[in-house]
Amino acid sequence: MDKLIITCAISGAEVTKEQNPYVPYTIDEMVREAYLAYQAGAAIIHLHVRKDDGTPTQSKVRYERVIKAIRKKCPDVIIQPSTGGAVGMSRDERLKPTLLNPEMCTLDCGTLNFGGDDIFVNTENDIKYFAEKIYSRNIFPELECFEKGHVDMVLRLHKKGFIKDPMHFSFVLGINGGMTGEQRDVQFLRESIPQECTFSVAGIGKYEFSLAEYAIKHGGHVRVGLEDNLFVEKGVLAKGNAELVQKVVSMAKTHGRAIATPDEARRILGIKGM
């Protein structure tokens, strides 16, 4: 079994300091949270950026400043900008971080109800457009799937050549409007992808650690972070992203699974082979 790759989603676009004061907004806060998560065992930093007041932005300039600052503290960490952005952003606005040529980014693979009146739109043509832009810059995409139809979309677009090997799936489960985060759900998704593919699980809220344990035991990888879950245990707010990473490291130790370094994560995912 491969070593466990831990991704830390340090801020997201929606969670706020009112919900948890450790959610980072400023560049200094982003660097602090990324560095502490990296020290705790995260090989990948999943990155949304904010303005200092917490407003989500896909500004190329803001991403560049944050990425450069994180690189000074964690020179070997994999930085994975989000191309999801926030609900309502245009294709090209969402793609702005890719202009910085990161080695990895996310690619959302289907439309999703996001609760209330919000719809996170990713049409088939959106996905093709994003894939073309991402691969043209030799960026490795993490294929974010919120339900089974998204997996099927990836497999169809892979067959048509829009999505390329190697494929790394991220199953984001438990979002209001998406697939729930029971173990049966991630097992169903895991069994729906080719055996040679890698996968990571991001359980939202109460599903974070139960799905992390499933992934640890079944050869998958894990995403945690304040974007997905604000609590280290029921009713106890996490004092930063590092606590969430540390809990996964402890779980992995219990199950005899070693933690991957950033360079080991690159080899496991095949990032260098693109």
The 10s digit of each residue's pLDDT in 48-67 is 999 999 999 999 999 999 99
Confidence of residue 133 (pLDDT cuts 50, 70, 90): very high
Q: Does residue 263 carry a pLDDT above 50?
A: yes
Q: How many whole angstroms separate alpha carbon 64 and alpha carbon 58?
A: 10
Percent of the chain exceeding pLDDT 70 equals 99
The residue-averaged pLDDT of 87-112 equals 95
Number of Cβ within 10 Å of residue 43's Cβ equals 26
- To the nearest 10 degrees (0 to 180), the angle between helices 124-136 and 148-159 is 60
Q: What is the per-residue pLDDT for 88?
A: 83
The residue-averaged pLDDT of 208-234 equals 97
Asked if residue 94 lies in contact with residue 69, where contact means CB atoms within 8 angstroms, the answer is: no
Nearest to 190 by CA among 221, 165, 164, 160: 221
Q: How many whole angstroms separate alpha carbon 128 and alpha carbon 93?
A: 16
Q: Does residue 112 carry a pLDDT above 80?
A: yes
Asked if residue 15 lies in contact with residue 241, where contact means CB atoms within 8 angstroms, the answer is: no
Q: Does residue 273 carry a pLDDT above 90?
A: no
CA 239 to chain centre: 20
Q: What is the per-residue pLDDT for 274?
A: 39
Confidence of residue 240 (pLDDT cuts 50, 70, 90): very high
Confidence of residue 116 (pLDDT cuts 50, 70, 90): confident
The residue-averaged pLDDT of 113-142 equals 95
Please report which residue ranges of the chain form alpha helices under DSSP H. Answer: 27-40, 60-73, 91-94, 124-136, 148-159, 183-190, 208-217, 241-254, 262-269
Q: How many whole angstroms separate alpha carbon 191 and alpha carbon 206?
A: 23
List, for residues 158-216, the tens digit of each pLDDT value.
999 999 999 999 999 999 999 999 999 999 999 999 999 999 999 999 999 999 999 99
Conformation bin of residue 54: beta by default, left when phi > 0, alpha when psi is -120 to 50? left
Q: Give all domains of the chain, ordered by start, each with its CATH number.
A: 6-273 (3.20.20.70)
Q: How many whole angstroms separate alpha carbon 251 and alpha carbon 6?
A: 12
> Is 70 in a helix, a strand, or coil?
helix
Matching residue, tokens 């090209």: 92
Q: What is the per-residue pLDDT for 215?
A: 98
The residue-averaged pLDDT of 134-142 equals 98
